[in-house]
Amino acid sequence: MKRHCTLVVTAALLLPGCAMLEWHKDGGTAETRDRDLAACAAKAQAEALRFDVLPPPQVTVDAQGRVIAVQPPRQDNQRFLAEQDLLRACMRERGYVLRESAAK
Residue-wise pLDDT tens digits, 77-90: 888 889 999 999 99
Q: What pLDDT is attached to residue 7?
A: 45
Q: Helices (H), strands (E): how many in the chain?
A: 3, 4
Residue-wise pLDDT tens digits, 41-74: 999 999 988 876 677 888 989 899 999 988 877 6
Residue-wise pLDDT tens digits, 28-42: 999 999 999 999 999
How far apart CA 83 and CA 89 sit, in angstroms, is 10
What does the angle CA 99 – CA 15 – CA 12 come to, to the nearest 5 degrees? Answer: 140
Q: What pLDDT is attached to residue 15?
A: 53
How far apart CA 73 and CA 93 sit, in angstroms, is 35
Domain boundaries, the chain: 27-97
Summarize the confidence of residues 2-20 as an average pLDDT: 55
Coil/strand/helix, residue 99: strand
